Amino acid sequence: MKILFFVSSMHAGGAERVAATLSSAWARRGDSVTLVPTYTRKGTCFYHLNPAVRLVWLADRMSWLGRRLLPSVSKWFAVRRLIREVEPDVIVSFLTNVNVVVLSATRGMKIPVIVCERTNPAFSSSASDTLKRLRRSLYPRATTVVLQSRDSVDAFRAMVPGLKDIAVVPNPLPPGIDEVGQAEVVSWPRRYRLLGMGRLVPSKRFDALIQAFSALAEAYPDWDLVIWGEGPERKNLEQLVQASGLASRVSLPGRTEQPWEEVVKADVFAMTSEVEGFPNVLLEAMALGRACVSVDCPSGPREISEGGKYALLAPLGDQPALCNALEQLMSDPTLRDVMGRRAAASVRERYGLPGILAQWDGVFARAMQPADTERPA
């Protein structure tokens, strides 16, 4: 099968990581995969790709003048020319801004187009009003729209009427996560670690995590809080840490090139986001056997944890409930161990790459059926 895969960029990011994982897996099994980052300033490929994946930068197919003066028009023509060159059996596109360009450029072409939302569009503020109008107008042309969680489906149908088909396919666990070793056991006395990880932006609500830890710090003097990540909220978060009087126990060390190695050093992982599309960081922390606490935000944590069975859930905005969930794990090493082991077994079974590839194969099969064939419900 010939797959033409459009993404916004291949910088470090969740959608880019999933694009690299899927395209490499498809190429590894023998599919012909062309991966096309559409970012007009090009950039670099942060993630490893299977050598069989053909990486084509759309910027290289656009004239310098076109990129400068009429980037949208130049991109449209470049996408259309590339589709004619590749002659794919199916097109996959990630992210709303890319999806609307691809759907517009494929007008009149009889090629199945699968567009994928990588956030929960009912709650995300990343799409401008213009982009939302284009999505509403163009998405009914898509053969299939793929969402990451079941929680998104009803809201998305209401937002974008007239869709032909919606499928739910979660992110796979990335390859290599099985090879991450567990942290060495430190001899007593030791300090315990509560961990947060993500971009330092308001929607991640790391201020709520710092406040919750501050409320528990006196009762748990052998615990520290570490928040990995970088972003525009750094100054505000540092001021909050200073005001709490916990500068020696709360650290914000910045980005890490080895996130999994940092996760396995944690005793408890916490996610406090206001909204997620599908939280890779929570999924990976569970897969690495960490006991986890998450706010029950839209969308993903409830599905990944199976309703709180494999990670403790706290209602979004309920600070006492967040503190209580953290305290349950901080106070009970046996519960941490049991929950971490059960979480790892559960998510590795449900979100392993072979199973997710099988789900994608089902999406491809549906999308490539003749137009007059009734699709399974």
Per the structure, the complete domain to which residue 157 belongs is given by 2-172+353-367
Positions of the chain with pLDDT under 70: 65-66, 121-126, 181-189, 371-377
d(CA 61, CA 159) in angstroms, rounded, equals 34
Query: Model's pTM, two decimal places?
Result: 0.85
Same domain, 57 and 166: yes
What residue spans of the chain are helical by DSSP H?
14-28, 64-69, 71-86, 96-105, 129-138, 153-159, 206-217, 234-244, 259-263, 280-287, 301-304, 319-330, 333-351, 353-367
Q: Residue 178 has what DSSP assignment?
A: G
Same domain, 347 and 363: no
Same domain, 363 and 247: no
Same domain, 360 and 299: no
**Quick check: is 372 in a domain?**
no
**Quick check: is 336 in a domain?**
yes
d(CA 277, CA 279) in angstroms, rounded, equals 6
pLDDT at site 123: 66
**Quick check: is 77 in a domain?**
yes
From residue 328, alpha-carbon distances to 197, 302, 311 in Å are: 20, 19, 12
**Quick check: is 199 in a domain?**
yes
Same domain, 138 and 264: no
| Beta bridge partners of residue 250, listed in sequence order | 225
**Quick check: is 122 in a domain?**
yes
> What SS3 state is found at 190?
coil
Same domain, 131 and 186: no
pLDDT at site 182: 64
pLDDT at site 43: 79
Same domain, 208 and 123: no
Same domain, 19 and 7: yes
**Quick check: is 375 in a domain?**
no
**Quick check: is 99 in a domain?**
yes
From residue 61, alpha-carbon distances to 23, 37, 66, 98, 153 in Å are: 21, 11, 10, 16, 36
d(CA 23, CA 375) in angstroms, rounded, equals 25
CATH value at residue 166: 3.40.50.2000
- Structure tokens, 210: 């710092």
Same domain, 254 and 301: yes
Same domain, 75 and 188: no
pLDDT at site 44: 85
Same domain, 223 and 358: no
pLDDT at site 286: 97
Peptide bond into 51 cis (omega under 30): no
> What SS3 state is found at 272?
coil
Domain count along the chain: 2
